[in-house]
């Protein structure tokens, strides 16, 4: 005799969106795949560009510029790649991933379906944002790992040549590159939160991503105006280069702490507004 599960009383329906299901959905989209592939291939592109440019000048051995030291060792090459991508490019990737969360579903006419499964709105938004964060972090980790691999194969098993300082051991360099990646990811919290807000406000994922990019450009411009004084600390990109602290000697953790704190504040404020807006958003149209 076949046993059937007991009927579920009204109001007791299990309404969840499994994290793994959303992760699989996101990874099945070519938009996400292309972003991850580009991050993984970028170190190879940089290596080819350095090959085309030729060997560094002999006078660069004592340089205080990481760009001039990029070919000094495998660890230095990886650090150079992180410096290249830790600013605007990483912000663009975050904008693309988070700008598509809700606006993308709306543009594909699948948002109403997801909300009638039924899945609570805040659950939907939280899972989608969490998946985007995991994908973003995975992409940055892949970038660092491939950069280190390409660097070691191209320039040898040596650590980071600190500009104007000593050459670190490979083990120490790996730890520093990992910390650099994590701090760079924390520095993108504001972009992720703003993308989450704009994706529930805008009807187009392109508009949401573009809003994050424009905000980044505006913030960087304002940060270059000395007349603003201490007000620049409130800008979301003011600590955007804090991750470079681990590529220097000695390591100054003050900007790192400020970067993480700034990112958390922006994430909490913008995330709360995004949740409030989405909870009241009319998706019937």
**pLDDT tens by residue, 176-200:** 999 999 999 999 999 999 999 999 9
pLDDT at 7: 46
Q: What are phi and psi of 167, to 5 degrees?
A: -95, 125
The answer, yes or no, to whether residue 144 has pLDDT greater than 90, is: yes
pLDDT at 105: 81
Q: What is the pLDDT of residues 47-58, one digit of tens each?
A: 999 988 777 665
Mean pLDDT for 192-219 is 94
Distance from C-alpha of 261 to C-alpha of 222, rounded to nearest angstrom: 20
Mean pLDDT for 26-41 is 91
pLDDT at 284: 64
Q: What is the pLDDT of residues 114-124, one digit of tens each?
A: 776 667 888 88
The answer to whether the beta carbons of residues 13 and 118 sit under 8 Å apart is: yes
Distance from C-alpha of 269 to C-alpha of 267, rounded to nearest angstrom: 6
Distance from C-alpha of 241 to C-alpha of 180, rounded to nearest angstrom: 10
pLDDT at 25: 87
What is the helix (H) or strand (E) element at residue 192, kind and residue range? helix 189-201
pLDDT at 18: 83
Q: What is the pLDDT of residues 9-32, one digit of tens each?
A: 444 444 567 888 889 989 988 889
Integer angstrom CA distances of residue 226 from 41, 94, 98, 233, 272: 38, 28, 32, 12, 31
pLDDT at 16: 62
Distance from C-alpha of 198 to C-alpha of 280, rounded to nearest angstrom: 15
pLDDT at 9: 45
What is the helix (H) or strand (E) element at residue 255, kind and residue range? helix 254-280
Q: Where are the domains of the chain?
A: 19-279
Distance from C-alpha of 70 to C-alpha of 78, rounded to nearest angstrom: 8
pLDDT at 113: 74
Distance from C-alpha of 251 to C-alpha of 97, rounded to nearest angstrom: 31
pLDDT at 201: 92
The mean predicted confidence, pLDDT, of the chain is 87
Distance from C-alpha of 46 to C-alpha of 60, rounded to nearest angstrom: 19
pLDDT at 12: 44
Q: What is the pLDDT of residues 62-92, one digit of tens each?
A: 556 788 888 889 999 999 999 999 888 999 9
């Amino acid at each position: 005799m076949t046993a059937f599960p007991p009927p579920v009383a009204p109001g007791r329906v299990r309404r969840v969106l499994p994290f793994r299901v959303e992760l699989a959905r996101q990874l099945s989209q070519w938009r996400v795949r292309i972003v991850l592939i580009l991050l993984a291939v970028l170190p190879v592109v940089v290596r080819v560009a350095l090959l085309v440019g030729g060997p560094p000048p002999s006078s660069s051995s004592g340089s205080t510029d990481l760009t001039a030291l990029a070919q000094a060792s495998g660890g230095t090459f990886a650090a150079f790649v992180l410096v290249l991508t830790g600013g605007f490019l990483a912000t663009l990737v975050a904008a693309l991933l988070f700008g598509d969360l809700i606006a993308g579903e709306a543009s594909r006419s699948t948002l109403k379906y997801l909300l009638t499964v039924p899945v609570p709105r805040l659950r939907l938004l939280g899972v989608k944002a969490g998946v985007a964060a995991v994908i973003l972090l995975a992409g940055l980790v892949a970038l660092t790992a491939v950069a280190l691999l390409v660097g070691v194969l191209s320039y040898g098993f040596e650590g980071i040549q600190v500009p104007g300082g000593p050459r670190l051991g490979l083990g120490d360099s790996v730890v520093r590159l990992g910390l650099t990646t994590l701090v760079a990811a924390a520095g993108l919290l504001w972009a992720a939160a703003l993308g989450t807000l704009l994706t529930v406000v805008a009807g187009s994922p392109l508009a949401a991503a573009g809003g994050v990019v424009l905000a980044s450009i505006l913030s960087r411009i304002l940060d270059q105006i000395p007349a603003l004084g201490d007000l620049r600390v409130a800008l979301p990109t003011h600590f955007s280069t804090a991750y470079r602290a681990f590529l220097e000697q000695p390591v100054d953790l003050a900007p790192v702490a400020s970067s993480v704190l700034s990112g958390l504040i922006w994430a909490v404020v913008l995330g709360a507004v995004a949740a409030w807006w989405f909870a009241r958003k009319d998706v019937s149209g």
